[in-house]
Structure 1
């Protein structure tokens, strides 16, 4: 036995040259698959599965959006005539113009092919491309629901945290009871109450806000911005009242689950103030379910709020969807439904992709 045989460095070098398991060619070497490589592969596989599921869901939405709204009673061609007397030849010509006389299977295949190119067809009642109508109404919806989303997310997380940390106290009982009440109230009914109280006026209280619409129509510049904000107060308040309640309840429940954890007891034993224990340790871990809810709600921001927009005559996607249903304007209804569902699916997928980054236990 030589001196090299007793040298650990020489032994490792020989194993590396021979491609032994402990050398560079083995599992932990440059060409091997160590723990980090395995975790990356598992995460990419997880993401690929979620993306595949999203594509399947979007195809299911495509099928549903085509066939579901054809069950709505009423003839869209007759609705487009506005009740005027029209000959059968004219009705047949209109059906041929919009492709309604083709077999259903052909209408469906044409619809799928057009959607893949971004063409949702032409609106029956507006006689303009569906995508143009959706684009025009998207801005008002994002202003309304986006502002409400930011407010009810911040308020819900803050109040939910305080309610859970002082579980059983007066503030906890008050906020939880109020949240449960508002969460169970129909949004359109709450909107009507706000209109009666703050727009029309109740008793000595005068009307302070417009009853509906997005603008007065005679303002410009800074005055226009103030006018739009004035019109937004009641619909945003309606959405915040319902949305914050859901966020508060989820955040409160998540934080309560963390309250008895050992790491919080350890943090207190180290002498950390109660406020620091809550902010630095408890809240970050309790935020995981709330983050998922935030992404889901972010998807509904694009979908708008059909009932609230209709009650307040807000010219957004929700109000446009209601108008399309009343005809029924099949291309517009199908396009809006597909956009709404796709936004929710995409945000759910983003939440699924981000979640393992926040909690490595997910997706393994």
Structure 2
């Protein structure tokens, strides 16, 4: 190598070494800002969950003793037991202090720790909504890619029209319709699936798995039908923005097949806006779908929230609200962490 080449290469190498620590510092600053924002959001969730559900009409203590003759002294003792006789500011500080450690108090109606009640239902919700999110994300990405690549055609118009129609349908209404058609039976269509619940009971092994899968068909179908449209529309829009890019023209000029141009070049770049949506959907896995779980009597956190809201069971409602919002915040932070790895321009 000549002296000139060596002299030219050395400064370039030194500059590259200087850029790496700078990029690392920029990423750490970016990450610190996102984590700080998540902490502020979580505190806002604690404040909202405490005050929001206290404006719900109804007295929790009287709801717990409904149908029984209870004296005013007994009602006062119950309020003292659950801390409802304390000043509002003291109830708030006690709530925040305990919530940081995962202690959301004791449920009024179930007389059990809120954290235990939530974790008991979480696996059921993760099973139902987890399967649904995976299915409608894959379906939305696949149909959205093909709709955009052949935009304006019959397939694009048909997919977009069906997606918009299903997206506008309330999930609980679609669930009730599926129960009427496929559970109760209508006309020549017999009742093929259970009307609700998670299992018949008394089954083990493969028979138990098959029973649970049989009960999952209609609620999963409801969630997929309502949820895939958003992923389809976002992916279609993102890919349409990439269609006229110069790098795609260059790839075609090199002789690459249209399928390879789509899979290797267009889709990876179009996925960036969809990443946030995917992580938001993953956040919904923890929250489940309150109305769908209630319609199908699925024993998850969604139906538990509905039961707690009807009392109102303040500790249980507050705990579930924090879990739902916390899952969304966590998934948004993970998306923010992943973004700079997919696109180095983010965070600089």
TM-score (norm 1): 0.92
Aligned to 1:34, the other structure's residue is in SS state helix
Which residue is 1:111 aligned to? 95
Kindly state the Cα deviation for residue 8 of structure 1 after the two structures are TM-superposed.
8.9
1:202 aligns with 2:174: no
**Alignment RMSD:** 1.9
1:301 aligns with 2:248: no
C-alpha distance in structure 1 between counterparts of 2:298 and 2:244, whole Å: 46
Alignment counterpart, residue 122 of structure 1, candidates 106, 109, 116: 106
Kindly state the Cα deviation for residue 116 of structure 1 after the two structures are TM-superposed.
1.5
Kindly state the Cα deviation for residue 28 of structure 1 after the two structures are TM-superposed.
4.7
Aligned to 2:102, the other structure's residue is in SS state coil
1:277 aligns with 2:261: yes
Which residue is 1:155 aligned to? 139
- Relative to structure 1, the CA distance from residue 179 to residue 8 in structure 2 (aligned partners, 3 Å threshold; closer, same or farther) is closer
State how 1:123-272 maps to structure 2 within 5 Å. Answer: 123-272=107-256
C-alpha distance in structure 2 between counterparts of 1:163 and 1:154, whole Å: 14
C-alpha distance in structure 1 between counterparts of 2:67 and 2:26, whole Å: 61
Aligned to 1:45, the other structure's residue is in SS state helix
Which ranges of 4 or more aligned residues in structure 1 deviate by more than 3 Å? none
Kindly state the Cα deviation for residue 152 of structure 1 after the two structures are TM-superposed.
0.4
Alignment counterpart, residue 64 of structure 2, candidates 72, 77, 80: 80
Alignment counterpart, residue 60 of structure 1, candidates 32, 44, 51: 44
C-alpha distance in structure 2 between counterparts of 1:309 and 1:185, whole Å: 16
Kindly state the Cα deviation for residue 207 of structure 1 after the two structures are TM-superposed.
0.4
Task: Pick which of 305-314 and 110-119 moved more.
Answer: 110-119
The alignment covers a number of residue pairs equal to: 344
Q: Tell me the alpha carbon deviations over residues 246-300 of structure 1, each in whole angstroms, 9 at most, x when there is no partner.
A: 1111111110000000000110111100000000000000011111110111011
C-alpha distance in structure 1 between counterparts of 2:206 and 2:284, whole Å: 29
Q: Tell me the alpha carbon deviations over residues 80-104 of structure 1, each in whole angstroms, 9 at most, x when there is no partner.
A: 0022221000000000000000000
Alignment counterpart, residue 49 of structure 1, candidates 25, 30, 33: 33
**Larger Rg over CA atoms:** 1
C-alpha distance in structure 2 between counterparts of 1:362 and 1:61, whole Å: 27
1:354 aligns with 2:327: no
Kindly state the Cα deviation for residue 361 of structure 1 after the two structures are TM-superposed.
1.2
Q: Which runs of 5 or more residues in structure 2 are unaligned?
A: none
C-alpha distance in structure 1 between counterparts of 2:100 and 2:50, whole Å: 14
C-alpha distance in structure 1 between counterparts of 2:32 and 2:61, whole Å: 44
1:99 aligns with 2:92: no
Kindly state the Cα deviation for residue 218 of structure 1 after the two structures are TM-superposed.
2.2
C-alpha distance in structure 1 between counterparts of 2:323 and 2:249, whole Å: 47
C-alpha distance in structure 2 between counterparts of 1:269 and 1:67, whole Å: 61
Q: Which runs of 5 or more residues in structure 1 are unaligned?
A: 1-6, 13-21
